[in-house]
Structure 1
Amino acid sequence: MATTLKDIAQAAGVSLTTVSRVLNYDQSLSVGAATRKRIFAVAEELNYAKIRRPKTEPKTRLRKIAIVQWYSEAREQDDLYYMAVRLGIEQRSQYYELEVTRIFQNNINQLTGDIDGVIAVGKFSTDQVRELQTLTDNLVFVDDDQFSAGFDSVLTDFDQSVQQVIDFFWQQDLHDIGLIYGTETTTDGRRKISDPRQQAFVAAMMAHQTYRPEFSFASDFTNQGGYQAMKQAINTLGDTLPHAFFIANDPMATGALKALQEAQINVPERVSIFSFNDTALAKYVYPELSSVRVATRLMGITAVDLLRERASKPRVPQRVELGTELIFRASTK
């Protein structure tokens, strides 16, 4: 179900009236800045939005869909990126009055009864794609490029966003730039996932003729992974530690911040950090993280719209790539 003002009020610990007046920017309301900030943060985390139903809709028999998430439910709680995508799917589905079933960790054996379409969120091996195809031909992938395999895919423009981060550091006269990126495999272990941010970073730095592989550190996409990677960078590089780091997601960036703070390395005075995804987490660490904002909610909305189009009539596959925005905060100068 879509998020309501009552949901936000309960999560923020304030009255329904207070939530309504804050979200409508009622400046006459006597409420502290911290409370206003908490209400907006909760609203953003719960993806509160008023989405208008289109005036005209394609004719479709789409009624029951499944969201197949490659993360476990517990892991999704730690990485708000995929949660935000899922909530976008669920909100859009409600406006189309679609019945939605949630499946975590690609466990499609949990599906009972017929479904009319699947939105697969995350990364999937060839075998897993084939297994999903046995359920329905109406398949849309989010955050996994399955376009060449003949499926609609909703993706983020990594190349331009990473280039923009490198250009920003360059304008700040920061030319020694490090990278902390992620590695992972599909849940069946049959496909190793290359981080597209790492590939874009290498290309951008090579264009400046300043790429140094010893400044790149791989780990998993978790807080602990980012912590361990930055600890390794500090221990191995010493005084040659780069003056800027691009880090592949917010949980990793928060872990890297912890490692720098333990080593008494000031951010951003000695090391500037730019993260990726701009989840709510980016604003609740110190210093707050500059981060690439990804249109996670729009990714979910787009996936539902593509699924409805595909179910209404046969057509060629579509590959939709959404843009990003740089959000500047205190972790950069």
Structure 2
Amino acid sequence: MATLKDIAQEANVSTSTVSRVLNYDSTLSVGEETKKRIFEVAEALEYKNLKKSTSKKKGTIAIVNWVSEAEELNDIYYMSIRLSAESKAQALGYNFIRVYNQDELINHDKLSGILAIGKYSQHQVDHFLEKNLPLCFVDFKPQQDIDCVLVNFKNAVKQNIDYLIDQGHSRIGFIGGEESFSDGTGNWIDPREKTAREYLKRKRLYKADYFYIGAFRVEDGKKNMLKALDNLSEEERPAAFLAANDAIAIGCLKALYEKNIKVPEDISLIGFNDISTAKYITPSLTTVKVYTEEMGSSGIQLLHERIQGERQGAKTVITSTKLIIREST
């Protein structure tokens, strides 16, 4: 595991700056470029070094992210997928371009393929298809038969709930996020929230006022945890929470610290994604490891097969998850 010192040396900043950035310290005065560099280094140091191809380049792949460059810092899950995709593309002998706004593809007419990371409306999917290029989605399954890489969110949520029940918890809450497609045509429904509601109902543990939904950001995690603490008495409130991603979970930890509530003695908390930050915060975060390295790498591999004409039928790759138990439970 990379240390804070390793990250600091690679990013050319102090260890204390790395620690405060990874803990989403809002009082730290540091530029967005520095934050981005620290997060990218922290994620990249988790990856195995892929040997770059020295042969003639096979073409150029557009790696499109559904969030903006600034939003990528709020939830580095997508940054992690992007970095692994870029490494795999280089290893296979491709150039790549980063695209944060789908409309920018209009300016690129010499592409070999498109890797689309994130959630897209049907209108946006149709826009990709108009390019008539090999196409693969990561973390999203369109209506059409198109290559994609997905995460088994449902099993992960069920395993989290079973783990908390095994730990003796019967009052289990959920703090999730809601997002809109970037073209403003509708919202994306998080399968983690849907599965948590259904599975807790099956276990006869569901309470509607244990669920709080905001955005997938640290600030919303803190705000919704404070709501949960203010709305319910100590005897009524959940003794354990699932957070839909690690950014939300970090916000929850900040709220609990502000209220002098001990974790995990008073409230247990499980995050989701296992971003590099999760192991460096205090207490270290129990979370679901999503294999973002495999997601980005698999997406490029599927695209490579299409570009090279090795396959015609659409393929879906589903990656597994793993609960990483740390200090917050």
Aligned to 2:230: 235
CA distance in 1, matches of 2:277, 2:197: 26
Match of 1:319 in 2: 316
Counterpart check, 1:222 vs 2:217: yes
Give the 3 Å change call, closer, same or farther, for CA 89–211 of structure 1 in structure 2: same
Q: 1:219 to 1:174 in 2, by over 3 A?
A: same
| Structure 2 counterparts to residues 80-119 of structure 1, below 5 A | 80-109=76-105, 111-119=107-115
The residue number in structure 2 matching 1:244 is 240
Partner of 2:164: 169
Mapped partners of 1:62, 1:190: distance in 2 = 36
Query: 1:7 offset after TM fit, Å?
Result: 9.1
Conserved? CA contact 1:116–1:136, under 8 Å: no
CA spacing shift, 1:7–1:247, aligned 2, 3 Å: closer
Alpha carbons 2:139, 2:150 under 8 Å: kept: yes
One-letter amino acid matched to 1:150: D
Residue-by-residue CA offset, 1:125-177 (whole Å, 9 max, x unaligned)? 1111111112233110001112x311111011101111111111011110110
- Say whether residues 1:152 and 2:147 are aligned partners: yes
Q: Deviations over 1:196-241 (max 9, x none)?
A: 1011112221221111111000000000110111111111112211
Change (3 A) 1:7 1:215: closer
**CA 251–93 in structure 1, closer or farther in 2 if over 3 Å, else same:** same
Q: What is residue 10 of structure 2 aligned with on the other side?
A: 10
Q: Is 1:184 paired with 2:183?
A: no
The aligned residue for residue 271 of structure 1 is: 267
Letter in 1 for 2:67: Y
SS of residue in 1 equivalent to 2:102: coil
Shift of residue 44 of structure 1?
A: 4.6
Which one is further off, 153-162 or 279-288? 279-288
CA–CA distance in structure 2, aligned partners of residues 159 and 234 of structure 1: 27
Give the corresponding residue for 2:29.
none
Separation in 2 of the partners of 1:82 and 1:193?
16
1:38 aligned residue? none
**Structure 1 unaligned runs (5+)?**
1-5, 15-40, 55-60
CA distance in 2, matches of 1:310, 1:200: 33
1:28 is matched with none
State the one-letter code of the partner of 1:212.
Answer: K
Residue type at the aligned position of 2:180? T
User: Are the aligned partners of 2:66 and 2:100 in contact in 1 as well (CA < 8 Å)?
Assistant: yes
Structure 1 residue 307 and structure 2 residue 303: aligned? Answer: yes
**Residue-by-residue CA offset, 1:101-130 (whole Å, 9 max, x unaligned):** 110143435633321100000111111111
Residue 328 of structure 1 is matched in structure 2 by 325
Distance in 2 (CA, whole Å) between partners of 1:209 and 1:215 is 13
RMSD between superposed Cα atoms in Å:
2.3
1:47–1:84: 8 Å Cα contact kept in structure 2? no
| 8 Å CA contact retained: 1:247, 1:276 | yes
User: Are residue 77 (structure 1) and residue 76 (structure 2) matched?
Assistant: no
Q: Identity over the aligned pairs, expressed in percent? A: 35
TM-score by length of 2: 0.84
- Report what 1:203 is aligned to: 198
Alignment counterpart, residue 250 of structure 2, candidates 249, 254, 261 = 254
Question: Deviation per CA, 1:175-204, whole angstroms, max 9, x where unpaired?
Answer: 110000110111011131001101111222
CA distance in structure 2 between the aligned counterparts of 1:271 and 1:8, rounded to whole angstroms? 32
Is the partner of 1:238 in helix, strand or coil?
coil
Contact 2:243 2:269 in 1 (8 A): yes
Question: 1:8·1:43 contact (CA, 8 Å) conserved in 2?
Answer: no
Matches within 5 A, 1:1-150: 9-11=9-11, 44-51=43-50, 63-109=59-105, 111-146=107-142, 148-150=143-145
d(CA) in 1 for partners of 2:295 and 2:210?
32
Q: Which residue of 1 aligns with 2:24?
A: none
Scaled by the length of structure 1, the TM-score of the pair is 0.83
Once the two structures are TM-superposed, the CA of residue 46 in structure 1 deviates from its matched residue by 3.9
Q: Which moved more, 1:283-292 or 1:310-319?
A: 310-319
C-alpha separation in 1, matches of 2:219 and 2:193 = 19
Unpaired stretches in structure 2, ≥5 consecutive residues: 1-5, 15-39
